[in-house]
Structure 1
Amino acid sequence: MTNKYHARKVTVLGHEFDSKKEADRFLTLCAKLTKGEISDLRGQVEYELIPAQKKANGKTERAVKYIADFVYRQDGKTVVEDVKGYRDGAAYRIFAIKRKLMLQRYGIEVKEI
């Protein structure tokens, strides 16, 4: 199955990824983990950027969330990565806003791969 950018889902070491590029990055990070260059490698980590809010009519506006492809520790710092195949279109523009919100809310610069 492919997505709108023609990327195929890939399974590596029992983990499913949205693209071969993301799976390859996982393997690279696993090698760094094994060598002790990074620690605490996690995938698909959710961050709340804007909490849910009640509107005047009593309905709730859902929270805005960002899901990072990979999060790990390196040199005592948290590193957040997002693997991108394309840097155009509506999906990338939404990501760019969320990337800025990550910096504003958590002080974390999202690293694009």
Structure 2
Amino acid sequence: MVERMTAADLRATQSQPKSQKYGAQRTVVDGVTFDSKKEAARWAQLCLLQRAGKISDLKRQVVVPLVGRDGPLLSRKGRQMRITVDFGYVNLKTGLQVYEDAKGMPTRDYEVRRAVAGAQGIEVVEV
């Protein structure tokens, strides 16, 4: 005999929050949701640096398009490939754009995208 689940039981199981694949815990700071505690802590540090006048143009979830020698790199579906880093800002001491990613466990996909960005001259700093 096959056991059946009621609609209420199904909704109850679907409403439970998903756990992160690598154990990171979502964190809310000042109404902003971060994917991990590490990312939230780094955001707080960068906000202080911006208030102190050491950095400017602080942004979250910065999308960097990936470009090869012959133009944009395209996925199998024809979309332009990109890497999304956690933070981007301008270091006022050097005047350079800095990209940071708070990684606990780098994936193979991330490593490849970071290498392509590095070949473009864009360094992604892991914190």
Per the TM superposition, whether the score is higher than 0.5 is yes
Query: Structure 2 residue aligned with 1:27, among 41, 44, 49?
Result: 44
Equivalent pair of 2:64/2:84 in contact (CA under 8 Å): yes
2:119 maps to: 104
- Give the percent of matched residue pairs that are identical in Structure 1 and Structure 2: 40
Where do residues 62-101 of structure 1 align in structure 2 (5 Å cutoff)? 62-74=79-91, 75-87=94-106, 92-101=107-116
Q: Counterparts of 1:109 and 1:80 in 2: how far apart (Å)?
A: 7
Consecutive aligned runs of 4 or more in structure 1 exceeding 6 Å deviation: none
SS in 2 for 1:29: helix
Cα displacement (A) at 1:102: 1.0
Q: How many residue pairs were aligned?
A: 104
Structure 1 residues 28-85: Cα deviation after superposition (integer angstroms, max 9, x where no partner): 10111111111110000111114365x8xxxx52221110100000020000001111
Gaps of 5+ in 2: 1-16
Q: Counterparts of 1:45 and 1:66 in 2: how far apart (Å)?
A: 8
Gaps of 5+ in 1: none
TM-score (norm 2): 0.74
SS in 1 for 2:88: strand
TM-score (norm 1): 0.82
2:63 maps to: 46
Query: Which has a greater percent of strand?
Result: 1
RMSD: 2.0
Q: Which has the larger radius of gyration?
A: 2
